[in-house]
A and B are shown apart, each in its own frame.
Chain A
Amino acid sequence: QSVLTQPPSVSAAPGQKVTISCSGSSSNIGTNYVSWYQQFPGTAPRLLIYEDNKRPSGIPDRFSGAKSGTSATLGITGLQTGDEADYYCGAWDSSLNAGGFGGGTKLTVL
């Protein structure tokens, strides 16, 4: 059972925009930073967004993060077939005093 809740899958056409939601509680998203990760099959996760909405160097500005209350959203614009991957949100949980992740969302670019 994941600490954070994500939709299992989303899909959109090339060139379109997609958003992936991440729902939590006051003890995790409501209090602490949210991060987002991209994972291709057989590879390690890669940090896409940290501190809710900041992009590490090398991450295109097609990727964006936002947070409101106890929910967060990852946005991807100008979808490319190379964006097909699993996406995970993460946040520290102050009540559990532990890290937590969403269950992951599989993005399909039709």
Chain B
Amino acid sequence: QVQLVQSGAEVKKPGASLTVSCKASGYSFTNSHIHWVRQAPGQGLEWMGRIDPSSGGTLYAQRLQGRVSMTTDTSTTTVYMELRSLRSEDMAVYYCARGLPGGFDPWGQGTLVTVSS
């Protein structure tokens, strides 16, 4: 079945960088974009950006421009999301999701990121 499996929880200090991985399986990896969405504690969903695994082309949310990077490794069908200069406001659960023409499905299980000094 189509599945996205993310890396485990992270604890980071303010100013540090974060990398979360998302391994895809069960479908043709280069046929669908992978999107990243985060959810701060008790808050709603925030779209962060997406990557096209076939070309490596990216599109980022404007408010994260300059701090976020998304890359892909087609040999391992894995997508990576890096977020730099972490702040307390970046504390959230981070999700990857496969992009379909009209929605996101499936979603990874989520990666909890704690930012604390």
Contact = CB atoms under 8 A, between A and B. Distances in A.
A82 interface: no
Nearest to A54: B102
B103 A47 contact: yes
A99 B105 contact: no
B80 interface: no
Nearest to A102: B44
A104 interface: yes
A50 B103 CA distance: 5
Interface stretch (B13-21, B45-53, B84-92): B45-53
Chain A: number of interface residues, binned into ranges: 20 to 34
A33 B102 contact: yes
B44 A33 contact: no
Interface stretch (A19-27, A73-81, A90-98): A90-98
Given A44-B109, A47-B106, A98-B61, A33 B45 contact: no
A50 B98 CA distance: 13
Contact of B102 (A2, A50, A98): A50
Chain B interface main SS type: strand
B97 to A, nearest CB: 8
Given A44-B95, A44-B107, A44-B108, A101 B45 contact: yes
A46 B107 contact: yes
B47 A101 contact: yes
21 contacts: A33-B101, A35-B103, A37-B104, A43-B110, A44-B107, A44-B108, A44-B110, A45-B95, A45-B104, A45-B107, A47-B103, A47-B104, A50-B101, A51-B102, A51-B103, A52-B102, A96-B62, A98-B47, A99-B47, A101-B45, A103-B44
Listed from nearest, the 10 A-B pairs whose CB atoms lie closest are: A35-B103, A51-B102, A50-B103, A99-B47, A33-B102, A47-B105, A50-B102, A44-B107, A101-B45, A104-B44
Interface of B: 35, 37, 44-47, 50, 59, 61-62, 95, 97, 100-110
Given A43-B110, A101-B44, 19 more contacts: A35-B104, A44-B95, A44-B107, A44-B110, A45-B104, A47-B107, A50-B100, A50-B101, A52-B102, A54-B102, A56-B105, A96-B62, A99-B35, A99-B37, A99-B50, A101-B37, A101-B46, A104-B44, A104-B45
